[in-house]
Amino acid sequence: MFKNPFIKQLFGSFLDLAPILAVVLVFQVLIIRQPVPDVGSLIAGMLFVILGLTLFVQGLEQSLFPIGESMAFAFARKGSLFWLLTFAFCLGFGAAIAEPGLASVAEKAAIIAGNANRIEQTDSAKAGYALGLRITVAVSIGLAILVGVLRILRGWPVYYPVLFGYACIAIMTPFAPSGIIGIAYDAGGIATSSITVPLVIVLGVGLATAIKGRNQLTDGFGLVVFATLMATIFVLAYGMII
């Protein structure tokens, strides 16, 4: 029973990864014209990636999707706005604060700020700056999920918050220190990881299903994009204030 779908999924993962392997090999051999270093670990690594992707998709459909869905339904039935919004905030905050990619970007941002003499050139000042930045991003993502859930409940069109986010970014950018702009623009994309995204998507779609008069497609999506825009806005503000 289990064997056939699993093998099918393994093959699907192989198809997903074949393009990246092809690009790397073609460029290395035909254009750069250098030998491929360490073929053994390349093959082993690709096998790991294929296995990993297969397990991830399997687990997602078996675990994260149903959890997110059942929680969305439970909150909708419970009807407590306060707890739903608290949950939305916690989910966004918790996901971003633990994201390793965000931590490494925050460290780079602290080095830039140090070089520009915006903060003291000491390790403790930089560590403080980096931690502050991570908390800022986490709060912004928590708030964004909260507002996004509120949007689904109220039935506002999905482009309202996005338009608002675009406008804020366009207005704030000219006033922000130049060193922070690139990081601010990238922060949102970095802070939303592979576990958060499926959970948030399912939460949105589940709420849109559970609430009468909402459409899964038109109302359920759009939570993640607002999270990244809010992260950009908050990082720009952080750069201006500190």
Partner 1 sequence: MIDWLIHFALKLLETSRNVLPILAIIIGFQLLVIRKPLPHPKRTIIGFFYVLLGIAFFLEGLDLALFPLGSLMASQLTTPEFLGVNPFEQVVSWQAYFWVYIFAACIGFAAALAEPALLAVAIKAEQISGGAIQAWGLRISVAIGVSFGLALGAFRIVTGSELYLYIIGGYIIVMIQTRFAPKMIIGLAYDSGVVTTSMVTVPLVTALGLGLASAVPGRNPLLDGFGLIAFASLFPVMAVLGYAQIAQWRNKGSL
Site residues for partner 1, window 24-43 (CB under 8 A)?
A: 24, 27-28, 31-32, 34, 36-38, 41-43
Write out the binding residues for partner 1, residues 136-175 only, by CB under 8 A: 158-159, 162-163, 166, 169-170, 173-174
Contacts of 23 (CB under 8 A, 6+ apart): none
Number of shown-chain residues binding partner 1 (CB under 8 A): 106
Tell me how far, at minimum, the Cβ of 49 lies from partner 1, in Å.
4
- Applying CB under 8 A, among 133, 143, 145, 225 the residue interacting with partner 1 is 225
Binding range to partner 1, per CB under 8 A, among 18-26, 117-125, 128-136: 18-26
- Applying CB under 8 A, among 66, 123, 127, 240 the residue interacting with partner 1 is 66
Cβ neighbours, 10 Å, residue 10: 15
Cα–Cα distance, 138 to 183 (Å, whole number):
15
Cβ 133 vs Cβ 92: under 8 Å: no
Q: How far is CA 226 from the centre of its chain?
A: 11
**Does residue number 121 form part of the binding site for partner 1 (CB under 8 A)?**
no
Nearer Cβ to partner 1 (42/242):
42
- Applying CB under 8 A, among 10, 135, 150, 195 the residue interacting with partner 1 is 195
- Applying CB under 8 A, among 8, 29, 83, 175 the residue interacting with partner 1 is 83
Report how far apart, in Å, the C-alpha atoms of 182 and of each of 83, 99, 137 are: 36, 19, 15
**Does residue number 115 form part of the binding site for partner 1 (CB under 8 A)?**
yes
Local structure of 140: helix, strand or coil: helix
Tell me how far, at minimum, the Cβ of 184 lies from partner 1, in Å.
9
Tell me how far, at minimum, the Cβ of 134 lies from partner 1, in Å.
13
- Angle of helix 81-97 relative to helix 196-210, nearest 10 degrees, comes to 160
Torsion of CA 229, 207, 220, 57, to 10 degrees: 90
Nearer Cβ to partner 1 (128/177):
177
Cα–Cα distance, 54 to 199 (Å, whole number):
18
- Applying CB under 8 A, among 90, 121, 122, 155 the residue interacting with partner 1 is 90
**Does residue number 85 form part of the binding site for partner 1 (CB under 8 A)?**
no
**Does residue number 91 form part of the binding site for partner 1 (CB under 8 A)?**
yes
Report how far apart, in Å, the C-alpha atoms of 74 and of each of 71, 105, 146, 209, 217 are: 5, 37, 17, 12, 20
Binding range to partner 1, per CB under 8 A, among 105-113, 118-126, 129-137: 105-113
Q: What tokens does 193 get? A: 């990881």
